[in-house]
Amino acid sequence: MSLEEKTDRQSLDPETQRRFEALALPHLGHLYRLAVRLQRSAQDAEDLVQETYVKALRAFPALRDPERIRPWLCQILSRLVYDDHRTEPREVAVGDLAELDRFSLYDLIDQEDPFPYSDQLHRDFLARFDDGEVRRALLALPEAYRVPLVLLYVEELSYKELADALGCPVGTIMSRLHRGRKILERELWECAKQRGIVRTR
Amino acid sequence: MKLTCEQAVKQFFAYLDRALSGEEFADLEAHLAACLDCCDKLSFSRELDAFVKRHLPDNPVPAALEARVRRALERAQGT
């Protein structure tokens, strides 16, 4: 039986719980912001934060370094999302992987040249998207890609730290970050086509 | 140049994420020093990362969330 399973079945003494709350609750805002970036709705984000704290309380006796409580809480939260979706998403969700790896938003903008008089074509292309469109593009990523990418952007973790946090090999992290960004590029291109920023092919 | 453009492009994300070192890092730097097209592509990848980061949602923390979490912790201890 793991330490986490052991502690799952026992109530902590009131002093330990108070200590946990004093150490962990100041990070509520940080965890909520991370949760909002990983989940599809604000309600889902609140549920995830609550689940994270309950799980963390039960595992708290196993935390060796209380100074590292924030990354530890972020890891628990991320794993709650990632572990349900850790296998390679079905092909239907992301399309042909070889084709995805070759996808280049830069080249497509170059070829399409939607703003012929622009001297900063690619920057002008990005400037056409608003917060909601970027958020929808990000949410189009299956969790197996979105979780490592958001952690990279928000927590600025190294590949090794991401691999440790999500419990997978560094090679998997590298490939998920690569493909996650490619899916994001593809979604922005599709959005541009739908909005008529570029001609539909 | 040791790397072709196709090989260089495949390394861009690892380069931006500071995950390249040693020979891989040196080979890519050498390629970039000699290939303007790859420099432009790398700049765009860097800009796209910064662009997505700027647009990540940043909702204010709901006022009632801390009380909700405290109640959940109490319940968890009671069970």
What values do phi and psi take at B33, rounded to 5?
Answer: -65, -20
* For testing contact with chain A, the best of B69, B75, B79 (most A CBs within 10 A): B69
Find the farthest-apart pair of alpha carbons in chain B and give their distance in angstroms, rounded.
67
In chain B, whose CA is at the least distance from the CA of A43?
Answer: B62
In a domain, A114, yes or no: yes
Is the Cβ pair A153, B65 closer than 8 Å? no
* Burial of B22: CB neighbours in 10 Å, binned 0-12, 13-18, 19+: exposed
Is the Cβ pair B69, A50 closer than 8 Å? yes
* Burial of A166: CB neighbours in 10 Å, binned 0-12, 13-18, 19+: buried
C-alpha distances in Å from residue A82, one per residue of A55, A120, B11, B73, B76: 15, 38, 25, 23, 23
Q: Which of A131, A150, A174 sits opposite B55 (nearest CB)?
A: A131
Shared domain check, A107 and A184: yes
In a domain, A200, yes or no: no
Shared domain check, A63 and A41: yes
Give the domain extent around A19: 3-85
Say whether residue B49 is in contact with chain A using an 8 A CB cutoff.
yes
Q: What is the pLDDT of residues A136-163, one digit of tens each?
A: 999 999 999 999 999 999 999 999 999 9
> Span A45-65, mean pLDDT?
95
How many interchain CB pairs under 8 A, A with B? 100
Find the farthest-apart pair of alpha carbons in chain A and give their distance in angstroms, rounded.
69
Shared domain check, A104 and A81: no
Taking 70 as the threshold, does the pLDDT of residue A93 lie above it?
no
Shared domain check, A67 and A114: no
- If one counts the domains in chain A, the total is 2
Domain topology for B5-78:
Arc Repressor Mutant, subunit A (1.10.10)
Q: What is the pLDDT of residues B22-76, one digit of tens each?
A: 999 999 999 999 999 999 999 999 999 999 999 998 889 999 999 999 999 999 9
ipTM of the complex: 0.90
> Span A122-126, mean pLDDT?
93
In a domain, A60, yes or no: yes
Shared domain check, A151 and A73: no
In chain B, whose CA is at the least distance from the CA of A22?
Answer: B70
Query: What does the DSSP 8-state code read for residue A83?
Result: G
* Residues of chain A positioned with their CB less than 8 A from the CB of B17: 152, 158-159, 177
Residue showing tokens 């493909």: A179
Final residue belonging to a domain, choices A62, A85, A108: A85
Final residue belonging to a domain, choices A17, A50, A85: A85
Please give the pLDDT value at position A95: 72
- Residue extents of the structural domains in chain B: 5-78
In a domain, A201, yes or no: no
pTM, 2 dp: 0.88
Say whether residue B40 is in contact with chain A using an 8 A CB cutoff.
yes
Q: Are A66 and A23 in contact (CB under 8 A)?
A: yes
Closest by CA to A186, choosing from A118, A101, A115, is A101
Shared domain check, A101 and A13: no
Say whether residue B5 is in contact with chain A using an 8 A CB cutoff.
no
Instruction: Determine the Cα–Cα distance for residues A78 and A137; give it in Å rounded to an integer.
Output: 20
Cα of A84 to nearest chain B Cα, Å? 22
In a domain, A199, yes or no: no
Please give the pLDDT value at position B20: 95
Shared domain check, A150 and A76: no
Taking 80 as the threshold, does the pLDDT of residue A90 lie above it?
no
pLDDT category, A42, cuts 50, 70, 90? Answer: very high
Q: What is the pLDDT of residues A67-79, one digit of tens each?
A: 999 999 999 999 9
